Structure 1
Amino acid sequence: MQDIREEHRGVSFQTVNEDEAGARIDNFLIRVLKGVPKSMIYRILRKGEVRVNKKRIKPEYKLQAGDEIRIPPLRMSEAKVVLPSANLDRVSALKDAVLYENDGLMVINKPCFMPVHGGSGVSYGVIEALRSIRPELHFLELAHRLDRETSGCLIVAKKRSVLRQLHEQFREKNMQKQYLALVRGVFSKRITTVRAPLAKNVLMSGERVVRVDEVNGKPSVTDFKIRENFRDVTLVEAYPHTGRTHQIRVHLAYRSHPILGDDKYGDREFDRRFEALGLDRMFLHAEHITFTDPVINREITVYAPLPGDLENLLSNIRKEDEEGEQHV
């Protein structure tokens, strides 16, 4: 039997980020207010208890980046998060993954293959795991997201006021994120900027993908800088100026430099030759994040070291390149 508890929610406010823009308010609330019946969500919308920018809205209202949503007090039943015993080691490892922490937030080094939250057939993610191992924290919410396959810096807010300020920094582009990606081929320029609008699509199979779309896409900009050149691949730093879904992955594939190990936008045939060198997942890591910590009101940069499996792959590629030069 599921362990059910009643939780009372006071008035809360959420700021819509760029990736959430375009969603209908009813669908947004259904996703965010897990455990609340849909009938209640439509009732509070109909009665005007949900406000966007202090105004009443209809269920079909489409959210815009920067919208502030007022959510009224709610009482809802939630199933207590029970984490699968088979994954307890991975969950416990999060205790040692904290890179930076104070009273208002924490930055963790998100492991690869762990989604940031449960859903879509996944029973738990980083946020559910953190709530399980840190039950003394009454508020834990993701400030942003990383793909399931991506490792590295992830900010989690411990106070709603801090969450609002972090969202403000994302919206005003006052937060800088830097990723490392290993890509096919050799970059022709040391620094490259990709400006290609992106749009979400659903294939006939039901798979969700992102494509470059000059007509319907949202503006998307990423800077790339070479970190290290190899014979057939390049290690690049990626600096996204916008926060679109799969932005770095799609922009690199669009420029014919797909990320190694990317099973959605990559080159599987090319990847096979690197499997013997240790490639077993997408090589994308959120290495640095720079932001103003609302608690201390000072700009900080948090660094997440490259995981051992990716370091090992790079070492093997360097060794193979050196051996190849010796035989020339």
Structure 2
Amino acid sequence: MREVRTLFVDASEEGVRLDRWFKRRWPHLNHIQIQKLTRSGQIRVDGSRAKPDTRLTAGAQVRVPPLPDAPPAGEKARLDPRDTAFAKSLVLYEDEEVLALNKPAGLAVQGGTKTVRHVDRLLSAWGEGLTRPRLVHRLDRDTSGVLVLGKTPGAAAKLSGAFARRRAQKTYWALVSGFPKPGEGVLDLPLAKRGMGDRELVVPADPKDPDAEAAETEFVTISRAGSRVAWMALRPRTGRTHQLRAHMLAMGHPILGDPKYGNEASAGLSEGLKLQLHARRLVLPHPSRGTLTLEAPLSAEMKAGFARFGFDEHEADPEPFGPGRRR
């Protein structure tokens, strides 16, 4: 596409993220390309600059700049049968509208310049075009656990809307350095991105900082290994990049196995461990009926941490934030 166009957001796309809106129309674009176009101001919403995670409203005008052409039909590499089998092995739940995967640690959700194997590519196992499932939220590359997708445009829009309106309850498990006091509560601490590329970090910020974004995390201590390590349940009330990792570091109790958001104490406890963060449970409205409750078994990386510090996953309440939970 070589010309600038203005497109309108459909009513069924209310609440959809800008980057996902683009991916639905031009699936050959990757996350890095969309990020560059927004950062340079070439993509605009209602005449203003916007970020990839901007939530769109029905009727909004999106400026679409000239985009790179899609590769010719047949040029895109077919999915290897082994990758197809691998993708299908990740399924936690599937019906005609919803697909839920148990994303392994180390597998990126979307591709980039140096990332050729990722969840978005593996979705070709379900077909292309309208039959291809659509991402509605993300997990960090090294975070394992529940990842939900919409199998139709309408289902994807409704699932995205549930996340945008905070109707999706996400529960993460994490092993952190030390013993947080208090053992439960809510951390309300704005965050801002600093740096670029691989050196980009999310750090606490003054609410008046123009780059600051509101960020809230609810936390509960499930168990502890003396004063060395605590097993925490974390519930992000907002969906900022690296929010849980940055918030736990700000509390002085970084997540083990995290080379980016760690300190000297966590480094000493993390030897040989990968990131100890797992998207354990997700509860949200089904696009057409009832409520979905999705739970992912522990990854091999998390099992290694549990074994080292003597935690038993069966000790945890399924809903650690509920009023009737065990103390």
TM range (shorter): 0.7 to 0.9
What is the aligned partner in structure 2 of residue 263 from structure 1?
Answer: 259
- RMSD (Å) for aligned C-alpha atoms: 3.5
What is the aligned partner in structure 2 of residue 119 from structure 1?
Answer: 112
Contact 2:126/2:132 (8 A) holds in 1:
no
Q: Deviations over 1:106-159 (max 9, x none)?
A: 01000110000111321231021121x222772321010000000000011111
Deviation, structure 1 residue 229? 0.7
What is the aligned partner in structure 2 of residue 302 from structure 1?
Answer: 294
Does residue 160 in structure 1 map to residue 156 in structure 2? no
What is the aligned partner in structure 2 of residue 62 from structure 1?
Answer: 50
Structure 1 runs not aligned, ≥5 long: 1-9, 42-49, 320-328
What is the aligned partner in structure 2 of residue 324 from structure 1?
Answer: none
Deviation, structure 1 residue 15? 4.5
Secondary structure in 2 aligned to 1:164? Answer: helix
What is the aligned partner in structure 2 of residue 5 from structure 1?
Answer: none
CA distance 1:70–1:226, shift in 2 (3 Å): same
Does residue 222 in structure 1 map to residue 217 in structure 2? yes
Higher strand share: 1
CA distance 1:292–1:34, shift in 2 (3 Å): closer
Secondary structure in 2 aligned to 1:228? Answer: strand
Q: Deviations over 1:213-267 (max 9, x none)?
A: 1122111100110111112010100011011111101100000011101111113
Which protein shows a greater Rg? 1
Calculate the TM-score normalised by the size of structure 1.
Answer: 0.74
Q: 2:97 aligns with which of 97, 104, 113?
A: 104
User: Relative to structure 2, which stretch is displaced further, 266-275 or 154-163?
Assistant: 266-275
Amino acid at match of 2:138: R
Q: 2:179 aligns with which of 178, 183, 186?
A: 186
Corresponding pairs, count? 279
What is the aligned partner in structure 1 of residue 306 from structure 2?
Answer: 314
What is the aligned partner in structure 2 of residue 211 from structure 1?
Answer: 203
The percentage of counterpart residues that share the same residue type is 27
What is the aligned partner in structure 1 of residue 233 from structure 2?
Answer: 237
Structure 2 runs not aligned, ≥5 long: 1-6, 35-42, 312-327
Amino acid at match of 2:111: G
Contact 1:260/1:267 (8 A) holds in 2:
no
Q: 2:170 aligns with which of 159, 163, 177?
A: 177
Secondary structure in 1 aligned to 2:303? Answer: helix
CA distance 1:138–1:213, shift in 2 (3 Å): same
Q: Deviations over 1:1-50 (max 9, x none)?
A: xxxxxxxxx99854555xx57x9x9xx859973547xxxx9xxxxxxxx9
Calculate the TM-score normalised by the size of structure 2.
Answer: 0.74
Does residue 291 in structure 1 map to residue 284 in structure 2? yes
